Amino acid sequence: MPTITKLASGNWRAQVRRKGCYAADTFRRRKDAEEWALNTERCIDQGITPSRRPKGPAKTFGDLIDLHIHDLYEVGKPIRRSKAAVMEALKLSLGGVGIVRLDRERLIDFGKWRAKRGAGPATLAIDISFIRTILSHAAAVHGIDVAAEDVRLARIALSRLGLIGKGVERDRRPTPDELDELIDHLESNPRQLIPMGRIIRFAVATAMRQEEICRIEWSDVDMKKKIVQVHDRKDPRHKEGNHQKVPLLNLTGYDAWQVLLEQRIVTRAQDRVFPHNSRSVGAAFRRACRFLKIEDLHFHDLRHEATSRLFEAGLPIEKVALVTGHKDWKMLKRYTHLKPEDLHKLQSEKQLTVDEHINMLAGM
């Protein structure tokens, strides 16, 4: 619980001690102190570093970052872990740069510096996008004079240099032998407490991410309709409240419903279906891949595999989207793996059907 103390000045001091973290700030009103303390506790629970309110006028880019984060806290929208990590990295590399010195040339130099240290085109694009967001927020909300146009010009320059662009799409699919080896190894290991074999089968059957799998509760499962509701499913714009119902199918070589029934026996239908930390699931998967010498395979590749198998099972794109949760069907085109030679096969199958129909009519 946070500590709220009234100071001799009449202000209110809020202190938060949680999970080894400490944060404190001073407010004019008790209500503001209580709201800040509540948001700070939420951030710590999400693994996000609490932010203090900037003191005095903003002078550096780091001040603008603090201002942006604090404003989001105030309206009850604390940034999540991935965005917080980018903000921390930007603060380390550009935080000390004065606002007036954050011009086009400085941003281009930053992009080149990041690229030399291994940042790919997609990663650098995210960095520049966040920089633009922070500057636009400062200008729109606080009326701070910033060079927002310089960010646009720097992005154009970095794109022309090939340092900004789309990420390379992964097309790594586990082979059936690799999946069998992984499942056999994990299920035969007495030291492996997490039911990784069932989790892998469930992932390939449902196309769910590891965080989504570990978040499902038994209250989310409709036992009659064989449907599970996934809460706050990942979405580039609106993750919170993005709840989706996913059917538990048997179309990918693994039966999602059967796996669920197996877990129901183990967990006695209490709390979560897979009551394990998603990071531990990822770590166990990586250890198994290293032990079996399976190279360049990520847990997220199982989602790719599941999506591909749904197409191979004959589902049209709109029905695949009901399982995977993709709102933009264009994102699913890469999973179809349609090859030019496949069209000959389709043509042969269609011609065979026509010939069979003609023969049937001739025999009448």
**DSSP-derived secondary structure for 171-205:** -----HHHHHHHHHHHHH-TT--S-HHHHHHHHHH
Residue among 261, 299, 263, 296 at smallest CA distance from 280: 299
Comparing CA positions, the residue from 301, 294, 290, 267 lying closest to residue 198 is 267
Catalytic (active site) residue 357: no
- Give, to the nearest 10 degrees, the angle between helix 196-206 and helix 176-188: 150
Q: How far is CA 65 from the centre of its chain?
A: 22
* N-to-C CA span, the chain: 84
- Per the structure block, which two tokens stand in for 43? 């951030």
> Is 335 annotated as catalytic?
yes
Catalytic-residue membership of 330: no
User: Which of 80, 300, 319, 327 is flagged as catalytic?
Assistant: 300
The three-class DSSP label of residue 336 is coil
**Is residue 300 annotated as part of the catalytic site, yes or no?**
yes
Q: Give residue for tokens 């994102």.
A: 331
Residue with tokens 């910033």: 146
Distance between CA atoms of residues 95 and 63, nearest Å: 7
The upper half-sphere exposure of residue 82, i.e. CA atoms within 13 Å in the direction of its Cβ, equals 6
Alpha helices in 78-171 (DSSP H): 81-94, 104-116, 121-142, 148-160
| Active-site residue flag, 30 | no
CB 121 within 8 Å of CB 167: yes
| Catalytic one of 132, 185, 209, 233 | 209
Which residue is catalytic, options 239, 245, 279, 344? 239
Distance between CA 50 and CA 24 in Å, rounded? Answer: 9
- Catalytic site residue from 70, 137, 215, 303: 303
* Single-letter code of the amino acid located at 238: H
- Active-site residue flag, 326: yes
Tokens of 288: 């198994």
Distance CA(102)–CA(232), nearest Å, equals: 36
DSSP character for 24?
Answer: E
Catalytic residues: 209, 239, 300, 303, 326, 335
